[in-house]
Amino acid sequence: MSALDAMYQQLILEHAKTRSGSDLTAEEAAAMPNRAGVGQCHQLNPVCGDEITLRLELDMAGKEAAGGGPGTAASTVKGVHWHGDGCAISMASASILSEMSEGASPQELEGMIGHFRELMRSRGRLEPDEEILGDAAALAGVAKYPARVKCAMLAWVAAEDALRQAVGSAL
């Protein structure tokens, strides 16, 4: 194992243990939010049982002052909170996503999700762009194992849907 692979493995294990953003309680996850700028999505991987409910909240403060509307660069991701159970890969992926999403514009987050999806579909043929993916680049090795790609993608698919809801509810 290369030094870089070992570092990536350590990063994944740390995120799986610390679970940044996993402060959504089961009760909160069961209740759909009904507020502008908030979206929530539940995803289940039926193959392995990994499960996540992810809530994404946009910070709409200042969007009017900046002349922006919902989902514009003037709004940013205020937070990504989740509740879930699963393997180290799915929990680490959710933790990494939660950390890197905060402060991003909806367009930036969409770009990160798109790059991550492309990386996961590459079957290990693409090198991760660390400028865009940050710590999520540590999950690049997962792409070589098609059965584990769904584990890594679970939170990202949930975030994509929650973002769409949050932007739509802010209109």
CATH number reported for the structural domain that contains residue 92 in this entry: 3.90.1010.10
Please give the biggest Cα pair distance in the chain. 52
pLDDT for 62 beyond 60: no
At residue 74, the pLDDT reads 62
Q: What's the number of domains the chain is made of?
A: 1
Nearest-10 Cα torsion for 41, 46, 48, 53:
10
Residue with the larger pLDDT of the pair 169 and 89: 89
Read off the pLDDT band of 63 (50, 70, 90). low
pLDDT for 170 beyond 90: no
Helix spans in 102-145 (H): 106-121, 130-133
Residue with the larger pLDDT of the pair 22 and 34: 22
Q: How many CB atoms lie within 10 A of CB 6?
A: 10
As to burial, measured by CB atoms within 10 angstroms (0-12 exposed, 13-18 middle, 19+ buried), residue 63 is: buried
The residue written with tokens 């699963």 in the block is: 86
Closest CA to 165 of 34, 53, 31: 34
pLDDT for 66 beyond 50: no
Residue 158, domain extent = 3-169
Q: How far is CA 86 from CA 3, 45, 57, 115, in A?
A: 27, 9, 23, 23
Closest CA to 159 of 119, 99, 113, 114: 113
Q: What is the DSSP letter of 128?
A: P
The helix/strand/coil state of 22 is coil
Distance CA 64, CA 157 (A): 29
Q: What is the pLDDT of residues 137-158, one digit of tens each?
A: 999 999 999 999 999 999 999 9
